[in-house]
């Protein structure tokens, strides 16, 4: 037996310390493979490990900032050192920021690209070639219904999730008949820290849409992955939103999303120092029409 053949298959969950990733780790562990939990917060990682062990899973935890240089190679080394290889990669690490792109900190917005796009791509393309060689395994990428339309007032996040969907769907097709699958799961709002951390939870759009429970999303995501699905949108309301976003012309859907994600208490971008609602927001007409009505 070669050293490579002695390695055991593992499920690697990037972004496992809390939220959807942590819930997916619990579901995956029930199948019996070791689960490698990746995240930055040591206490939350330890909590996730206890959760997974409680359902009978074997865990390995790696504290790793996925946007740090050579993060994917460090993960690869960690697996080998522990006698494992990546059989399933779950990319759940991600964040967003609500607010106008010109008003949010640039670093935070570039960080969205670094994590949601660059790190996800790095991990995926680091582990996929060996999966193809073995003719087994796959990748489960957590996208969002945000990936179906541009999203004013959360522009970078929506664009990053559009990338995740496009990249995943393309890979799924490229890998047809290889025994390896790539699945993108695109949930609507899920009850996790993401909503408060990003500020999205305070926007009207996320108040009107029903929120799913992370455990429920995880079960559906894992089922979609195991069935080799290309794309899955968990929940009826999210399915409707995804369908509507794909059918409506951009001239209608983009202003509508922008309006539902802007808060009247937001500071006005014109620099007046007033609230948006008391300044340029007074000129807002209906979604789909020009932003500034002739008054
Ligand atoms: N919640 C929603 O409404 C919703 C809806 C649709 C899609 N999503 C997507 O679902 C995925 C999971 O989100 P969630 O709701 O579970 O959010 P969450 O509770 O905030 O979890 C995010 C996870 O990403 C990890 N993470 C963040 N930055 C990282 C970094 N630099 N390196 C390593 N890990 C990092 C966090 O761990 P550490 O902080 O410990 O590093 C945490 O485990 C994201 O891609 C999100 O865009 C969420």
85 is catalytic: no
- Encode pLDDT of 93-144 as tens digits: 999 999 999 999 999 999 999 999 999 999 999 999 999 999 999 999 999 9
What is d(CA 215, CA 208) in angstroms, rounded to the nearest whole number? 21
Nearest alpha-carbon partner for 224 in 126, 143, 116: 143
pLDDT tens, position by position, 235-259: 999 999 999 999 999 999 999 999 9
Q: Which residues line ligand 1 (CB under 6 A)?
A: 15-21, 39-41, 44, 65-67, 92-95, 115, 142, 144, 187, 189-190, 192-195, 197
What is the best residue among 92, 195, 218 to mutate for testing ligand 1's pocket, by most ligand atoms within 8 Å of CB?
Answer: 92
pLDDT tens digits along 190-232: 999 999 999 999 898 988 999 999 999 999 999 999 999 999 9
Ligand 1 atom at shortest distance from the alpha carbon of 17 = 43
What domains, with CATH codes, occur in the chain?
A: 8-261 (3.40.50.720), 264-295 (no CATH)
**pTM metric for this prediction:** 0.94
Which residue's alpha carbon is at the smallest distance from atom 1 of ligand 1?
190
Catalytic residue, chosen from 85, 95, 157, 276, is 157
d(CA 6, CA 83): 7
The residue whose CA is least distant from atom 34 of ligand 1 is 39
DSSP conformation class of 18: S
What would you report as the CA-atom Rg of the chain, rounded to the nearest whole angstrom?
20
- What pLDDT is stored for residue 278 in this prediction? 83
Q: What is the pLDDT of residue 283?
A: 64
Question: CA-to-CA distance for 172 and 11, rounded, in angstroms?
Answer: 19
């Amino acid at each position: 037996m070669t050293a490579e053949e002695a390695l055991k298959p593992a499920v690697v969950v990037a972004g496992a310390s809390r939220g959807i990733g942590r819930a997916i780790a619990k579901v995956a562990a029930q199948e019996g493979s070791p689960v490698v939990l990746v995240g930055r917060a040591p206490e939350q990682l330890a909590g996730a490990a206890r959760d997974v062990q409680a359902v009978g899973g074997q865990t390995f935890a790696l504290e790793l900032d996925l946007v740090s240089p050579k993060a994917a190679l460090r993960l690869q080394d960690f697996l080998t050192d522990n006698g494992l290889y990546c059989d399933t990669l779950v990319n759940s690490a991600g964040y967003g920021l609500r607010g106008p792109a010109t008003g949010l900190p640039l670093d935070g917005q570039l960080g969205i690209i670094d994590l949601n796009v660059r790190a996800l791509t790095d991990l995926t393309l680091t582990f996929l070639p060996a999966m193809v060689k073995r003719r087994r395994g796959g990748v489960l990428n957590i996208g969002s219904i945000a990936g179906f339309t541009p999203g004013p007032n959360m522009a970078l996040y929506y664009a990053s999730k559009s990338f995740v969907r496009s990249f995943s769907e393309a890979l799924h097709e490229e890998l047809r008949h290889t025994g390896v699958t790539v699945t993108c799961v695109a949930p609507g709002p899920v009850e996790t820290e993401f909503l408060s951390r990003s500020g999205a939870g305070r926007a009207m759009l996320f108040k009107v849409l029903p929120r799913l429970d992370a455990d429920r999303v995880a079960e559906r995501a894992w089922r979609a992955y195991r069935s080799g699905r290309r794309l899955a949108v968990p929940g009826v309301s999210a399915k409707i939103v995804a369908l509507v976003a794909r059918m409506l012309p951009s001239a209608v859907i983009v202003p509508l999303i922008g309006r539902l994600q802007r808060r009247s208490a937001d500071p006005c971008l014109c620099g007046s120092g007033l609230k948006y609602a008391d300044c340029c927001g007074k000129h807002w007409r209906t979604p789909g029409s020009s932003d500034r009505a002739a008054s």
